[in-house]
Amino acid sequence: MALFSRKQKTAVGLDIGSGLVKVAVIDHGGAEPELARVAMVPLLADAIVEGEVMDPAIVSDAIRAALSAAEVNPAAVATAVGGRDVIVKKIIIDRVKASQVQELMRWEAEQHVPFDMDSVELDFQILDPEADDEQMRVLLVAAKRDLVEAKLRVLEEAGLTAAIVDVDSFALHNAFERSHPEAMTGVVALVNIGHESTNINIVEDGVPVLTRDLNVGTRRLREDLQRDLGLSAEEAKAVLDAPDRSTALDTVLVARGEEIAVGIERAAAFLASASHSQVQVSSVYVCGGGARTPGMLDTMGARLRVPIVLATPLANLTAREGAFESLDAEAVAPLFMLAIGLALRGPG
Protein backbone atom coordinates (compact mmCIF):
# COMPACT_ATOMS: atom_id res chain seq x y z
CA MET A 1 0.00 0.00 0.00
CA ALA A 2 1.47 3.29 -1.08
CA LEU A 3 0.55 4.96 2.19
CA PHE A 4 3.01 2.87 4.15
CA SER A 5 5.67 2.12 1.60
CA ARG A 6 8.38 4.66 2.04
CA LYS A 7 9.41 5.65 -1.46
CA GLN A 8 13.00 4.85 -2.28
CA LYS A 9 14.64 8.11 -3.07
CA THR A 10 18.31 7.37 -3.11
CA ALA A 11 20.97 9.31 -4.92
CA VAL A 12 24.40 7.95 -5.75
CA GLY A 13 27.41 10.26 -5.88
CA LEU A 14 30.47 9.01 -7.73
CA ASP A 15 33.88 10.62 -7.22
CA ILE A 16 36.39 9.23 -9.69
CA GLY A 17 39.63 10.20 -7.96
CA SER A 18 43.09 9.40 -9.28
CA GLY A 19 43.85 7.33 -6.17
CA LEU A 20 40.46 6.10 -5.02
CA VAL A 21 37.07 5.74 -6.69
CA LYS A 22 34.49 6.69 -4.10
CA VAL A 23 30.75 6.13 -3.94
CA ALA A 24 28.26 7.68 -1.53
CA VAL A 25 24.61 6.68 -1.36
CA ILE A 26 22.19 9.11 0.24
CA ASP A 27 18.60 8.35 1.09
CA HIS A 28 16.40 11.37 0.50
CA GLY A 29 13.21 9.59 1.51
CA GLY A 30 13.11 10.88 5.09
CA ALA A 31 12.75 14.31 6.62
CA GLU A 32 16.51 14.79 6.44
CA PRO A 33 18.92 13.17 3.99
CA GLU A 34 20.71 10.18 5.47
CA LEU A 35 24.01 8.64 4.43
CA ALA A 36 23.02 5.08 3.59
CA ARG A 37 26.31 3.67 2.38
CA VAL A 38 29.80 4.54 1.21
CA ALA A 39 32.51 2.51 -0.53
CA MET A 40 35.94 3.16 -1.95
CA VAL A 41 38.12 1.18 -4.31
CA PRO A 42 41.78 1.98 -5.05
CA LEU A 43 42.62 2.76 -8.64
CA LEU A 44 45.71 1.25 -10.24
CA ALA A 45 48.57 3.73 -10.58
CA ASP A 46 48.45 5.89 -13.70
CA ALA A 47 44.93 4.91 -14.77
CA ILE A 48 44.14 8.62 -14.31
CA VAL A 49 46.93 11.14 -14.79
CA GLU A 50 46.45 14.88 -14.41
CA GLY A 51 42.72 14.37 -14.47
CA GLU A 52 42.82 12.54 -17.78
CA VAL A 53 41.55 8.99 -18.00
CA MET A 54 44.43 6.97 -19.49
CA ASP A 55 42.82 3.58 -19.16
CA PRO A 56 39.01 3.67 -19.38
CA ALA A 57 38.62 -0.09 -18.81
CA ILE A 58 40.51 0.00 -15.50
CA VAL A 59 38.51 3.01 -14.36
CA SER A 60 35.14 1.56 -15.30
CA ASP A 61 36.04 -1.71 -13.55
CA ALA A 62 36.86 0.26 -10.40
CA ILE A 63 33.54 2.10 -10.68
CA ARG A 64 31.64 -1.20 -10.92
CA ALA A 65 33.62 -2.57 -7.99
CA ALA A 66 32.85 0.50 -5.87
CA LEU A 67 29.13 0.33 -6.67
CA SER A 68 29.04 -3.34 -5.91
CA ALA A 69 30.91 -2.78 -2.63
CA ALA A 70 28.25 -0.19 -1.77
CA GLU A 71 25.59 -2.76 -2.72
CA VAL A 72 23.82 -0.47 -5.17
CA ASN A 73 23.03 -0.92 -8.81
CA PRO A 74 21.92 2.47 -10.07
CA ALA A 75 21.16 3.35 -13.66
CA ALA A 76 22.36 6.91 -13.16
CA VAL A 77 24.91 8.52 -10.87
CA ALA A 78 25.91 12.09 -10.09
CA THR A 79 29.50 12.80 -10.97
CA ALA A 80 31.74 15.80 -11.52
CA VAL A 81 34.61 17.18 -13.54
CA GLY A 82 37.43 19.38 -12.33
CA GLY A 83 41.04 20.35 -12.84
CA ARG A 84 42.68 22.77 -15.21
CA ASP A 85 40.19 22.15 -18.02
CA VAL A 86 37.38 23.59 -15.92
CA ILE A 87 37.28 27.29 -15.28
CA VAL A 88 35.07 28.87 -12.68
CA LYS A 89 35.05 32.63 -12.60
CA LYS A 90 33.03 35.17 -10.71
CA ILE A 91 32.08 38.06 -12.95
CA ILE A 92 30.14 41.22 -12.35
CA ILE A 93 27.75 42.46 -15.03
CA ASP A 94 25.00 45.04 -15.29
CA ARG A 95 21.84 43.50 -13.91
CA VAL A 96 19.61 41.87 -16.52
CA LYS A 97 16.73 39.44 -16.33
CA ALA A 98 17.76 35.89 -15.50
CA SER A 99 16.54 34.80 -18.92
CA GLN A 100 18.98 37.19 -20.58
CA VAL A 101 22.01 36.00 -18.67
CA GLN A 102 22.37 32.89 -20.81
CA GLU A 103 22.91 34.93 -23.97
CA LEU A 104 25.39 37.22 -22.27
CA MET A 105 27.45 34.39 -20.89
CA ARG A 106 28.87 33.36 -24.23
CA TRP A 107 30.20 36.82 -24.80
CA GLU A 108 31.51 37.05 -21.24
CA ALA A 109 33.14 33.64 -21.59
CA GLU A 110 35.00 34.84 -24.65
CA GLN A 111 36.53 37.60 -22.53
CA HIS A 112 37.33 35.48 -19.50
CA VAL A 113 37.99 31.92 -20.62
CA PRO A 114 41.22 31.03 -22.40
CA PHE A 115 39.64 28.08 -24.25
CA ASP A 116 38.33 27.78 -27.78
CA MET A 117 34.63 28.63 -27.44
CA ASP A 118 33.61 25.91 -29.88
CA SER A 119 34.99 23.23 -27.61
CA VAL A 120 33.54 24.20 -24.24
CA GLU A 121 30.38 23.59 -22.29
CA LEU A 122 29.21 26.74 -20.54
CA ASP A 123 27.09 27.06 -17.45
CA PHE A 124 26.45 29.81 -14.94
CA GLN A 125 24.89 30.56 -11.60
CA ILE A 126 23.53 33.94 -10.51
CA LEU A 127 24.96 34.52 -7.06
CA ASP A 128 22.59 37.25 -5.97
CA PRO A 129 19.28 36.61 -7.77
CA GLU A 130 17.24 38.37 -5.07
CA ALA A 131 19.31 41.55 -4.94
CA ASP A 132 18.18 44.69 -6.76
CA ASP A 133 21.40 46.65 -7.12
CA GLU A 134 22.53 47.76 -10.54
CA GLN A 135 25.10 45.04 -10.91
CA MET A 136 24.82 41.33 -10.51
CA ARG A 137 27.36 38.69 -9.58
CA VAL A 138 27.45 35.62 -11.73
CA LEU A 139 29.58 32.51 -11.45
CA LEU A 140 30.64 31.49 -14.93
CA VAL A 141 31.66 27.89 -15.53
CA ALA A 142 33.41 26.65 -18.65
CA ALA A 143 34.46 23.03 -19.04
CA LYS A 144 36.29 21.62 -22.04
CA ARG A 145 33.83 19.42 -23.85
CA ASP A 146 36.44 16.64 -24.28
CA LEU A 147 36.70 16.34 -20.53
CA VAL A 148 32.96 16.02 -20.04
CA GLU A 149 32.64 13.57 -22.90
CA ALA A 150 35.50 11.43 -21.59
CA LYS A 151 33.73 11.21 -18.22
CA LEU A 152 30.50 10.20 -19.90
CA ARG A 153 32.29 7.51 -21.90
CA VAL A 154 33.79 5.99 -18.77
CA LEU A 155 30.35 5.92 -17.18
CA GLU A 156 28.89 4.35 -20.27
CA GLU A 157 31.56 1.68 -20.22
CA ALA A 158 30.51 0.94 -16.65
CA GLY A 159 26.89 0.67 -17.81
CA LEU A 160 25.83 3.97 -16.26
CA THR A 161 24.41 7.29 -17.28
CA ALA A 162 25.04 10.63 -15.61
CA ALA A 163 22.17 12.11 -13.60
CA ILE A 164 24.32 15.23 -13.25
CA VAL A 165 27.80 16.20 -14.36
CA ASP A 166 28.69 18.73 -11.72
CA VAL A 167 31.88 20.69 -11.14
CA ASP A 168 34.18 19.28 -8.40
CA SER A 169 34.43 22.54 -6.51
CA PHE A 170 30.63 23.06 -6.52
CA ALA A 171 29.93 19.56 -5.25
CA LEU A 172 32.54 20.02 -2.53
CA HIS A 173 30.97 23.32 -1.64
CA ASN A 174 27.57 21.69 -1.44
CA ALA A 175 28.77 19.18 1.16
CA PHE A 176 30.71 21.89 2.95
CA GLU A 177 27.70 24.18 3.19
CA ARG A 178 25.69 21.49 4.88
CA SER A 179 28.38 20.10 7.15
CA HIS A 180 30.05 23.33 8.23
CA PRO A 181 27.46 26.12 8.32
CA GLU A 182 29.73 28.02 10.72
CA ALA A 183 32.12 28.53 7.78
CA MET A 184 29.53 30.40 5.74
CA THR A 185 30.43 33.81 7.15
CA GLY A 186 33.62 35.69 6.44
CA VAL A 187 36.39 34.45 4.20
CA VAL A 188 37.41 30.82 4.58
CA ALA A 189 39.34 28.38 2.44
CA LEU A 190 38.08 24.88 1.72
CA VAL A 191 40.95 22.67 0.64
CA ASN A 192 40.65 19.15 -0.76
CA ILE A 193 44.03 17.41 -0.68
CA GLY A 194 43.74 14.35 -2.90
CA HIS A 195 46.11 11.80 -4.34
CA GLU A 196 47.33 13.83 -7.31
CA SER A 197 45.97 17.28 -6.82
CA THR A 198 44.85 19.78 -4.25
CA ASN A 199 41.81 21.91 -4.85
CA ILE A 200 41.64 25.26 -3.06
CA ASN A 201 38.31 27.04 -2.81
CA ILE A 202 37.95 30.45 -1.29
CA VAL A 203 34.48 31.08 0.07
CA GLU A 204 33.27 34.55 0.98
CA ASP A 205 30.13 34.72 3.10
CA GLY A 206 29.08 31.33 1.79
CA VAL A 207 29.74 32.16 -1.87
CA PRO A 208 32.55 30.34 -3.71
CA VAL A 209 34.60 33.11 -5.25
CA LEU A 210 37.80 31.49 -6.40
CA THR A 211 39.05 28.01 -7.12
CA ARG A 212 42.62 26.90 -7.82
CA ASP A 213 44.28 23.54 -8.35
CA LEU A 214 47.78 22.58 -7.30
CA ASN A 215 49.65 19.55 -8.60
CA VAL A 216 50.40 18.19 -5.19
CA GLY A 217 48.80 15.42 -3.16
CA THR A 218 49.56 12.25 -1.26
CA ARG A 219 51.17 10.72 -4.32
CA ARG A 220 53.78 13.47 -4.34
CA LEU A 221 54.42 12.94 -0.63
CA ARG A 222 54.92 9.24 -1.24
CA GLU A 223 57.35 9.94 -4.09
CA ASP A 224 59.25 12.40 -1.89
CA LEU A 225 59.62 9.76 0.81
CA GLN A 226 60.80 7.19 -1.71
CA ARG A 227 63.34 9.52 -3.23
CA ASP A 228 64.62 11.28 -0.11
CA LEU A 229 64.65 8.33 2.27
CA GLY A 230 65.04 5.42 -0.13
CA LEU A 231 61.78 3.82 1.01
CA SER A 232 59.83 1.41 -1.14
CA ALA A 233 56.38 2.49 -2.34
CA GLU A 234 54.77 0.25 0.30
CA GLU A 235 56.95 1.58 3.12
CA ALA A 236 56.23 5.16 2.10
CA LYS A 237 52.50 4.47 1.95
CA ALA A 238 52.61 2.92 5.42
CA VAL A 239 54.27 6.07 6.80
CA LEU A 240 51.60 8.26 5.18
CA ASP A 241 48.61 6.17 6.24
CA ALA A 242 49.86 5.59 9.79
CA PRO A 243 47.67 7.03 12.56
CA ASP A 244 50.59 8.96 14.07
CA ARG A 245 53.22 11.26 12.68
CA SER A 246 56.61 9.70 12.17
CA THR A 247 59.81 11.75 12.09
CA ALA A 248 60.46 10.31 8.62
CA LEU A 249 57.71 12.60 7.42
CA ASP A 250 59.15 15.83 8.80
CA THR A 251 61.00 17.30 5.83
CA VAL A 252 58.61 16.23 3.08
CA LEU A 253 55.66 17.38 5.13
CA VAL A 254 57.12 20.82 5.68
CA ALA A 255 57.90 21.22 1.98
CA ARG A 256 54.51 20.04 0.68
CA GLY A 257 52.45 21.50 3.52
CA GLU A 258 54.03 24.85 2.83
CA GLU A 259 53.44 24.49 -0.89
CA ILE A 260 49.74 24.09 -0.17
CA ALA A 261 49.77 26.92 2.37
CA VAL A 262 51.45 29.21 -0.16
CA GLY A 263 48.79 28.22 -2.70
CA ILE A 264 46.14 29.42 -0.25
CA GLU A 265 48.03 32.65 0.41
CA ARG A 266 48.37 33.30 -3.31
CA ALA A 267 44.68 32.64 -3.94
CA ALA A 268 43.77 35.13 -1.22
CA ALA A 269 46.27 37.67 -2.56
CA PHE A 270 44.83 37.29 -6.06
CA LEU A 271 41.34 37.93 -4.73
CA ALA A 272 42.52 40.95 -2.78
CA SER A 273 44.09 42.52 -5.84
CA ALA A 274 41.10 41.70 -8.05
CA SER A 275 38.63 43.21 -5.61
CA HIS A 276 40.90 46.00 -4.34
CA SER A 277 40.13 45.01 -0.79
CA GLN A 278 41.64 43.25 2.15
CA VAL A 279 41.04 39.54 1.92
CA GLN A 280 41.99 37.78 5.11
CA VAL A 281 41.32 34.05 5.24
CA SER A 282 40.09 33.48 8.79
CA SER A 283 40.17 29.70 8.82
CA VAL A 284 41.01 26.79 6.57
CA TYR A 285 38.94 23.61 6.29
CA VAL A 286 40.73 20.61 4.90
CA CYS A 287 39.31 17.37 3.49
CA GLY A 288 40.51 14.59 1.16
CA GLY A 289 43.03 11.83 1.79
CA GLY A 290 45.85 14.31 2.39
CA ALA A 291 43.98 15.82 5.31
CA ARG A 292 44.59 12.46 7.00
CA THR A 293 48.36 12.55 6.51
CA PRO A 294 49.69 12.76 10.06
CA GLY A 295 50.97 16.28 10.74
CA MET A 296 49.60 17.88 7.56
CA LEU A 297 47.14 20.18 9.31
CA ASP A 298 49.73 21.26 11.91
CA THR A 299 52.23 22.07 9.18
CA MET A 300 49.72 24.21 7.32
CA GLY A 301 48.70 25.95 10.53
CA ALA A 302 52.29 26.76 11.44
CA ARG A 303 52.67 28.65 8.20
CA LEU A 304 49.23 30.21 7.84
CA ARG A 305 48.67 31.02 11.52
CA VAL A 306 44.92 30.58 11.32
CA PRO A 307 42.79 27.72 12.65
CA ILE A 308 42.99 24.62 10.43
CA VAL A 309 39.93 22.41 10.73
CA LEU A 310 39.53 18.84 9.53
CA ALA A 311 36.36 19.06 7.42
CA THR A 312 34.02 16.11 7.59
CA PRO A 313 30.75 15.56 5.77
CA LEU A 314 29.43 13.83 8.90
CA ALA A 315 29.43 17.05 10.93
CA ASN A 316 25.76 17.54 10.07
CA LEU A 317 24.64 14.34 8.37
CA THR A 318 23.46 11.13 9.98
CA ALA A 319 25.08 7.96 8.75
CA ARG A 320 22.95 4.85 8.86
CA GLU A 321 24.20 1.96 10.99
CA GLY A 322 26.71 0.04 8.88
CA ALA A 323 27.04 2.79 6.26
CA PHE A 324 30.84 2.55 6.48
CA GLU A 325 30.81 -1.23 6.87
CA SER A 326 34.37 -2.24 7.74
CA LEU A 327 35.83 1.22 7.13
CA ASP A 328 36.76 3.44 10.07
CA ALA A 329 34.09 6.13 9.63
CA GLU A 330 35.93 8.88 11.43
CA ALA A 331 39.17 8.26 9.55
CA VAL A 332 37.75 8.06 6.04
CA ALA A 333 34.77 10.44 6.17
CA PRO A 334 36.88 13.45 5.02
CA LEU A 335 37.69 11.50 1.83
CA PHE A 336 33.99 11.33 0.95
CA MET A 337 33.27 15.06 0.95
CA LEU A 338 32.93 15.29 -2.85
CA ALA A 339 30.95 12.05 -3.32
CA ILE A 340 28.57 13.09 -0.54
CA GLY A 341 28.23 16.60 -1.96
CA LEU A 342 27.14 15.02 -5.24
CA ALA A 343 24.67 12.61 -3.65
CA LEU A 344 23.23 15.40 -1.50
CA ARG A 345 21.91 17.03 -4.68
CA GLY A 346 19.13 14.48 -4.61
CA PRO A 347 17.87 11.76 -6.91
CA GLY A 348 17.45 12.54 -10.60
Q: Select from 18, 169, 174, 299 the one that contacts ligand ATP (CB under 6 A).
A: 18
Q: How far apart are CA 123 and CA 110, in angstroms?
A: 13
Positive or negative, the CA dihedral 308, 312, 318, 321 is: negative
Among 288, 313, 341, 347, binds ligand ATP (CB under 6 A): 288
341 interacts with, out of ligand ATP, Mg ion, none, CB within 5 to 8 A per kind: none
Q: What is the C-alpha R_g of the chain?
A: 20
Spatial separation of the C-alpha atoms in residues 324 and 339, rounded to whole Å: 14
Chosen from Mg ion, ligand ATP, none, partner binding at 38 (C-beta under 5 to 8 Å by type): none
Task: Find out whether 89 and 203 touch, Cβ atoms under 8 Å.
Answer: no
**Based on CB atoms, which residue is closest to Mg ion, 194 or 347?**
194
Q: List, in order, residues 6 or more apart from 218 with CB less than 8 Å away.
A: 19, 193, 194, 195, 240, 289, 290, 293
CA-CA distance, 86 to 166, in Å (whole number)?
11
**Shortest approach of ligand ATP to residue 97 CB, angstroms?**
38
Angle at 338 between CA 336 and CA 343, to 5 degrees: 90
The CA–CA distances, whole Å, from 199 to 192, 214, 220 equal 5, 6, 15
Q: What x-and-dash track marks residues 194-223 binding Mg ion by CB under 5 A?
A: x-----------------------------
Instruction: Please say which residue, 279 or 286, places its beta carbon nearer to ligand ATP.
Output: 286
Which residue from 85, 196, 204, 213 is in contact with ligand ATP, where contact means CB under 6 A?
196
Site residues for Mg ion, 6-45, by CB under 5 A, read 17
From the list 14, 20, 78, 210, which residue makes contact with ligand ATP (rule: CB under 6 A)?
A: 20
Catalog residues that contact Mg ion under the rule CB under 5 A. Answer: 17, 194
Catalog residues that contact ligand ATP under the rule CB under 6 A. Answer: 17-20, 194-197, 217-218, 240-241, 288-289, 292, 331-332, 335
